[in-house]
Amino acid sequence: MQDRFDLIVLGAGSGGLAAAKRAASYGARVAIVEGDRVGGTCVIRGCVPKKLLVYGSAYRHLLADAPSYGWDVGDIRLDASRLLANVRAEVDRLNSLHIGFLEKAGVELVRGWGRFSGPSGVVVSAADGSERQLEAERILIAVGGRPQRPEIPGAELGWVSDDLFELESLPEAVVVVGAGFIACEFACILNGLGVQVTQLVRGDHLLRGFDREASRAVQESMEEAGIAIRFAHTPAAITGQCAPGEFTVTTQSGETIACGGVLLATGRRPMLQGLNLEAAGVAVEGIRIPVDADQRTNVPGIYAVGDVTDRINLTPVAVDEGRAFADTVYGSRPRQVDHSLVASAVFSQPELAGVGLTEEQAIERCGAEGIRVHRARFRPMSQALPATGPRVLLKLIVERSSGKVLGAHMVGEHAAEIIQMAAIAIGMGATKADFDRTMALHPSVAEEFVTMPN
């Protein structure tokens, strides 16, 4: 068993896996260090199991609408325990699959938690207490991030997003704390699974950073679905006992809310603890590891990708950063990741997705008179017979002087799928006239993007 490699990757998440396999494909000797399951946040406790729960929770609305399409489904009953168990089984399958991918790529998986022993050395501490010293010409830090709890009494009694995937059953009522995409997604999931949800939001709106009109549309739909959103509310303390699952959340105003669980979706931060970065001399800026456009830290031979750099914390970004690193260093194909135009989505119910500038960002850049906003809002055909459910919102933000589309945003079913295609056009510099010249595919929701009047 060798202990000297060309590359050591710390963390077998999206970015680390992509970098390790790509580097190995160029002939590098690669070790990847991981103390948890293989796949990282996205596969194990993030995007994948979350999206499966989104699908599961959506059946409540689909089944409720079925009679309008002639289907008599009878009594509807949810077995949440079965859903949660099935999701965990799929995560286990994916974990095994990724281990197999590493073996096929010729990457050695070193089990345990790694820490720097110097600028070219890593000590790996295994679960059995043994340690292994590894050396490499280059080291890539790809350890990702972890959820953060607010500093309030009883915070340890609350769940973070990781914990929800380990639940065996669901309580009758949950308090969700936060306004970001994780908070909103889980509020919708729990609501769809029949849980009474109260969401506490510190500010005055949801989904900061997304288009405000789009985020308001999501808020309206969440409230119509029965989620109680309380703005200008923060938790001051959580009391109760974990075993019985009976808690009380006390807000900053002294109000008390009884519930069976509390989800603290109050942000994430890079997982730097335990890395012993000082032994290698790696600089830290605030809570993150700063890197240049080629993913290099301040120490020659040490690089970082993904959430640990705290730039755009999305799985596809981490994957591309990892591959760009390997292409540049080992593949003689130097390239840098373009972070300037990255589409993003919130898998709330309904979905929100966007690419490019929001209306607020466009006004800040071009002035209110420098842009035109084209929008359409309507009930989708899928809801025509039940005559219920959220309305769709589509927006194009256009620069007046050039006609260039600066941003596209959508709230509604399949928003992420549609915006993914719009991202290609906007990345190529498409104008409103280019959208107008595109023949509509009828009847579809997406056709509204190419039929909006000038």
Q: Which are the catalytic amino acids?
A: 442
* Interacting residues of 292 by C-beta distance below 8 A, sequence separation 6+: none
Residue pair 205/215 in contact (Cβ under 8 Å)? The answer is yes
Bridge-based pairing of strands 121-125 and 131-141 is antiparallel
The single-letter code of the amino acid at 380 is P
| Kind plus residue range of the DSSP H or E element containing 30 | strand 30-34
Which among 145, 149, 146 is positioned nearest to 265, based on CA atoms?
Answer: 149
Residue pair 330/295 in contact (Cβ under 8 Å)? The answer is no
* Interacting residues of 318 by C-beta distance below 8 A, sequence separation 6+: 13, 14, 15, 18, 142, 144, 305, 306, 307
Report how far residue 351's alpha carbon sits from residue 419's, in angstroms, rounded to the nearest whole number: 11
Q: 3-state DSSP call for residue 427?
A: helix
Report how far residue 31's alpha carbon sits from residue 245's, in angstroms, rounded to the nearest whole number: 42
The single-letter code of the amino acid at 410 is M
| Kind plus residue range of the DSSP H or E element containing 54 | helix 47-65
Q: 3-state DSSP call for residue 19?
A: helix
Bridge-based pairing of strands 173-177 and 196-201 is parallel
Peptide bond into 67 cis (omega under 30): no
Instruction: Find residue 177's DSSP bridge partners.
Output: 200, 264
Neighbour count for residue 342 (Cβ, 10 Å): 17
Bridge-based pairing of strands 173-177 and 256-259 is unpaired
